[in-house]
Amino acid sequence: MGTPSVGDLGEFGLIAALTARLPQGPGVLLGPGDDAAVVAAPDGRVVATTDLLVADRHFRRDWSTPHDVGRKAAAANLADVAAMGATPTALLVGFAAPADLPAAWAEEFAAGLAAECAPVGASVVGGDVVRAEQLLVAITALGDLGGVPAVTRDGARPGDVVAVCGTLGASAAGLAVLSAGVRGHQSLVQAHRTPTPPYAAGPAAARLGVHALIDVSDGLLADLGHVAERSGVAVDLDSSAFVPSEELRAAAAELGASATQWMLTGGEDHALAGCFAPDVELPDGWVRVGRVHAGSGVTVDGSVPTGVAGWDHFR
């Protein structure tokens, strides 16, 4: 007998195999197995977000394990919840796959989802599976605001301090390393496979009254551009604040790239960028990188950056 595939399991067998690996947190009143789940909403408001991951677009099976893909899929959505100042509570998962996909791949993917959710106390509470020609994952994440206002992109004010919490540029560097087929730089490669967003930093910043907050998924310049546009302000970054790690420098030198450019335009690290009042003492882990001014757009040391600001799926 060959290796079982998702087609061998069938729809309900696959659902049973996946949900067997998904422990439920205390906020889940009714988990997988019914027409819908029931999740507690203590605040009375629910933060909701969704994201798609498509094979060979967002991940490659020859570069990442299924556990890696599960973690990355969860992280992209959990980080968006944190960027609203909320604590993640639950994920819903849409899973489309060819019938010959090994069942073990799907099971390890589910284990990766659970592993990324566990530290923040979130649970996978349901979803759907379907046969498709291409492997695709659609995640919906829910979160709880804990009594504080949601932090949006439109609250930045002139005089605010711009700060970042989390890693910048590592995922872009890891992708470049994988694409070039060079050896080494494993911490950068792993940062691309499984980003490590600073989930707790979002709710902590919200409690301090941060004016605007965003998940850096497409690149810092691009994402701060969204903040600047929505808030009707200008953002100026200080290039001296972006200090590449030794490994980032080494990879850039080997590949003929710019480590600083990776930090400014690379996506998928899922760091958080926030705009704080100038008199607020930045929490641990946050690094001041610029200022908000009257005007529009994003500049670096007062100059408009050249080249691409970040990722755009349709460019």
**For the chain, give me the number of helices (H) and strands (E)?**
9, 12
Q: Is 238 labeled as ligand-binding?
A: no
Give the residue-averaged pLDDT of 254-282. 96
Q: What is the pLDDT of residue 20?
A: 63
Q: What is the pLDDT of residue 193?
A: 96
Q: What is the pLDDT of residue 310?
A: 55
Q: Is 223 labeled as ligand-binding?
A: no
Strand partners, 236: 291, 299
pTM, full prediction: 0.92
Residue 315 confidence (pLDDT) above 60:
no
Q: Is 80 labeled as ligand-binding?
A: yes
Find, among 120, 131, 135, the residue nearest to 56 by Cα: 135
Q: Is 311 labeled as ligand-binding?
A: yes
Q: Is 123 labeled as ligand-binding?
A: no
Q: Is 50 labeled as ligand-binding?
A: yes
Domains with residue ranges and CATH for the chain: 6-144 (3.30.1330.10), 161-300 (3.90.650.10)
Residue 235 confidence (pLDDT) above 50:
yes
Give the residue-averaged pLDDT of 223-249. 97
Angstrom distance (rounded) from CA 198 to CA 196: 7
Q: Is 49 labeled as ligand-binding?
A: yes
Write out the two tokens for 261: 């450019």
User: Angle, nearest 10°, between helix axes 246-255 and 186-193?
Assistant: 100
Q: Is 153 labeled as ligand-binding?
A: yes
Are the CB atoms for 215 and 270 separated by under 8 Å?
A: yes
Greater model confidence, 308 or 39: 39
